[in-house]
Structure 1
Amino acid sequence: MDITSEQALVDAVKGADGPLAVRGGGTRGVPVRGAVMSVAGLSGISLYEPGAMTVVAKAGTPVVEIEAALAGENQRLAFEPMDHRALLGTKGTPTIGGAMAANVSGPRRISVGAARDFLLGVRYVDGTGAVIKNGGRVMKNVTGYDLVKLMAGSYGTLGVLSEVSLKVLPRPETHATLVLNGLDDAGAVAAMAQALGSPFEVTGAAHDPSRQETNLRVEGFEASVAYRLEKLRALLSATGAQIDVRDVAASDAIWADIRDVAAFHGKEGDVWRVSCKPSDGPAIAARSGAQTWFYDWAGGLIWLLTIPGHDLRQAVGAFDGHATLVRADAANKARLGMFHPEPAGLARLTSKLRAQFDPKGIFNAGLMDPAA
């Protein structure tokens, strides 16, 4: 079912007599249950005001189209949304609605916030077929902000986005990456914490244990970047790591690979995404049973590659965070669940919330509530 207008979306929801699998570009690897309803046809930038640093776009608008428009005004989507296609083997084109519905946030999250923090307003269709408008189109008119944020990360289970309003930011003049070689996991996490705790404004912090390579990104005016890189080099010299600097071109490649988990492209196995306290990261990775892993968000995000069917949550045990099964075959995703089980009290609350937004239980049924 291909949706090309908001009214068609309303009619489809009102007429649904079974589950609907809500899709944008179909690139995020979300399990399908029910009739596929694609909103990729809801496409186009409705409003772009560079001076106000805001853009409004229909949910099916390709992310690359928005990025191209912003680049023309030397602006960007600062949350640098990940492209899942090479990791998951999916096709199609990532859409802005899909990125917001999944709250897809890249390496810069540690400095500017998550995708949801840039969402100013939404239009969506709820489970009764009603069109809901919430939030605003500019930063000074963001009413109902909490409901706007609630839609981000709900994976289409609360409503189907038809339009989003976003805050954008200027592109920096330049950037570079400080590379530390030779640190183990614990040493790298400590070094990243030290860098983030400094006044030198690090906008990316990641570590690859397989190469013992730790990357720290600095962005801004050219003179400021050069100054901060030297200060960071001096600050981290006590780690004993060999320290180098990568220029703009090399830095771009490094962070694109980190953002899109290029280390796991073409490798067999299941892919897990663990969000945790950075200081807990090395211990969690060590007991995960994974074949390989790497850290983003200064250790607060771990990407892990395991043998097919491995229950990483059981191997890790209880921890302060959650583990999402990003890539696996359909049987293992059904058996293990894509999302981390919620505590009983929270599960009751979120189940009631979904029932309020989607009383017929038709949107991506069972995705975030397996008991449904």
Structure 2
Amino acid sequence: MTPIHEPLSEEAAARLVQVAALTKSPFVIRGGGTRSLHAAPEGADVLSARGLSGIVAYNPAEMTMTARAGTPLEVVEAALAEKRQMLAFEPPDLRGVLGSSGIPTIGGVFAANASGPRRLTAGAARDSLLGLRFVNGRGEVVKAGGRVMKNVTGLDLVKLLAGSHGALAFITEVTFRLLPVPETAVTILVSGLNDAEAAAAMATAMSMSVEVSGAAHLPESVRGRFAGGALPEGAATALRLEGLSASVEVRAQKLAAAMAGFGPVARLDAEVTARLWREIRDAAPYADGTARPLWRVSVAPTAGQQLVAALRLETGVDAFYDWQGGLVWLRMEAAPETALLRRYIKAVGGGHATLLRARPEVLAAGEAFQPQAEAVAALQGRVKASFDPDGLFVSRMMG
């Protein structure tokens, strides 16, 4: 059984890493254990942030919060809800699609750069991250960034660690900015569009001054698995508007009029809108209890539907689109088709694919992440050597 270390303080975590550095003993870093389906490499212990829990500081007036890395995400969100504030980037909960347990942590969210539908307008998780504290591979405690946006000291270092998946350092504390909860939200839904038509409709909507905060396309193969099957017949192209009620009403009328030229238009109220975008965020149609390969693919918004169309000519796939078509949730019906997928990603202009789910032996083959270009890989190697010279931190997907 893999040993699991859960230090209760930053100092205790630093001592563990210092000892590991002397013995050259590797660690796999874990938050709440919700995102990883990869077994720990042989000989590696688990270093968990779960014991580092609690909100350190919350300033609603400045809309910033500092929390220890192992703080459950639900604790953070409950505290924010009391002040009608929220995390701007809508972190997804992938336990359903991964069939995993555990409790998502705020440190794991930033370590994975986990970002949902509002990334289009509010940015990714890393764009909300103001500062952090971490233990590097030498067992040194390092602070980067600050608690206010104007303090940019160390900000690039902060961005570097966001999305590093535990490969560079053990994050112990994070400071991040917040947004007010919108007064209301509605979704303008266009029905019956094919993938290419939907890409054109979403591009038109995003070019308008109506401030669309979410743009997704749900082909007919998945449409019935959203919102309890309450969406109109045919593929659904969903466009979300948020804000003050009076403003949303005016913008919704303008957007609906523009979308009428693409197909039948419907409007979803705030309650159905909240459910729909939560399900889009969490890739709910693929929470099917299977191990069928599931890819999360990021490409240019116009390239998503081109990628899926090319793949459908050669293999069985099911897909839907977020981020105006730039994020493709792609489920293979049999094998992961890794080489085929990456060949077509290159053909449509490049991007990034992460294999989130597959049979254990497939995940063990080590092809979950997109290979980097030679120059980028060399740069990553130099960064890794600076943070973790002995290679103590063995990266794997984390939560």
* TM-score strictly above 0.5: yes
Structure-2 change in CA distance of 1:287 and 1:81 (3 Å): same
**1:193 and 2:215 equivalent?**
no
- TM-superposition CA deviations, 1:4-36 (whole Å, max 9, x none): 111111011111132211001000125222211
Q: Deviations over 1:91-120 (max 9, x none)?
A: 110000000000000000001100000000
| One-letter amino acid of the structure 2 residue matched with residue 272 of structure 1 | W
Matched residue, 2:144: 134
- Whether 1:11 aligns to 2:15 is yes
The one of 299, 316, 321 equivalent to 2:325 is: 299
Aligned to 1:20: 27
Letter of the 2:335 partner, please give it.
G
Q: Name which of 359, 365, 385 aligns with 1:335.
A: 365
2:101 aligns to what SS in structure 1? coil
SS of residue in 2 equivalent to 1:234: helix
> RMSD over aligned Cα, in angstroms?
1.3
Q: Distance in 2 between matches of 1:204 and 1:30?
A: 29
The match for 2:296 among 254, 268, 273 is: 273
| Other structure's SS at 2:67 match | strand
Tell whether the 8 Å contact from 1:29 to 1:327 is kept in structure 2 after alignment: no
Aligned to 2:356: 326
d(CA) in 2 for partners of 1:159, 1:330: 26
Q: Which moved more, 1:343-352 or 1:308-317?
A: 308-317
Query: Residue 110 and residue 283 in structure 1: after superposition, are their counterparts in 2 closer, same or farther (change >3 A)?
Result: same
CA apart distance, 1:336: 5.1
Q: Which of residues 208, 212, 217 in structure 2 aligns to 1:202?
A: 212
Shift of 1:231: 0.3
Cα distance in structure 2, aligned partners of 1:163 and 1:110: 26
Report deviation, 1:349.
1.1
Q: Which residue of 2 aligns with 1:261?
A: 283
**Greater mean deviation of Cα atoms: 184-193 or 282-291:** 282-291
Whole-angstrom CA distance in 2 between matches of 1:163 and 1:174: 32
- Contact between 2:316 and 2:334, CA under 8 Å: does it hold in 1? no
Q: SS state of the match for residue 238, structure 1?
A: coil
- Asked whether the 8 Å contact 1:56–1:164 carries over to 2, the reply is yes
Aligned match of 2:251 in 224, 228, 246? 228
Distance 1:36 1:112, change over 3 A: same
Counterparts of 1:249 and 1:3, CA distance in 2: 41
Matched position secondary structure for 2:352: strand
Residue type of the partner of 2:320?
Answer: F
Letter in 1 for 2:195: D
CA distance in 2, matches of 1:307, 1:11: 46
1:163 aligned to which of 153, 169, 173: 173
- Structure 2: give runs of 5+ residues left out of the alignment: 224-234
TM-score (structure 1 length as normaliser)? 0.96
Deviation track 1:30-61 (CA, whole Å, cap 9, x = no partner) reads 52222111111100000000001000000000
Give the gaps of 5 or more residues in structure 1: none
- Residue 140 of structure 1 and its aligned partner are, at CA, apart by 2.1
Q: Distance in 2 between matches of 1:363 and 1:30?
A: 17
Aligned residue number for residue 75 of structure 2: 65
The 1:186/1:230 distance shift into structure 2, 3 A limit, reads same
- Determine if contact 1:119/1:149 at 8 Å carries over to the other structure: yes
- In the superposition, the TM-score normalised over structure 2's length comes to 0.89
| Residues 343-358 of structure 1: pairs in structure 2 closer than 5 A | 343-358=373-388
Flag the 1:316–1:187 CA change in 2: closer, same or farther, 3 A. farther
Q: Is the alpha carbon distance of 1:177 and 1:78 closer, same or farther for their aligned partners in structure 2, counting shifts above 3 Å? A: same
Q: Distance in 1 between matches of 2:11 and 2:334?
A: 42
Shift of 1:330: 2.5
Equivalent residue number for residue 95 of structure 2: 85
Question: Does the Cα contact within 8 Å between 1:188 and 1:214 map onto a contact in 2?
Answer: yes
Distance 1:315 1:64 in 2: 35
Among residues 36, 41, 54, which one is paired with 2:46 in the alignment? 36
1:58-82 residue CA offsets vs partner (Å, 9 max, x unmatched)? 0000111111111111110010100
The alignment-based identity, stated in percent, is 47
CA contact (8 A) 2:68 2:172 kept: yes
CA deviation after TM superposition for structure 1 residue 335, in Å: 2.2
Q: Deviations over 1:286-344 (max 9, x none)?
A: 22334200000000000000134322442451242111111112321232511100011
Q: 1:114 to 1:37 in 2, by over 3 A?
A: same
Question: Which amino acid letter does the alignment assign opposite residue 192 of structure 1?
Answer: M
Q: Contact 2:115/2:125 (CA < 8 Å) preserved in 1?
A: yes
Partners in 1 of 2:64 and 2:339 — Cα distance? 40
- Range moving further from structure 2, 246-255 or 331-340: 331-340
Q: How many residues align?
A: 366
Q: Which has the higher contact order (CA 8 A, sep 6+)?
A: 2
CA contact (8 A) 1:43 1:60 kept: yes
SS at match of 1:141: coil
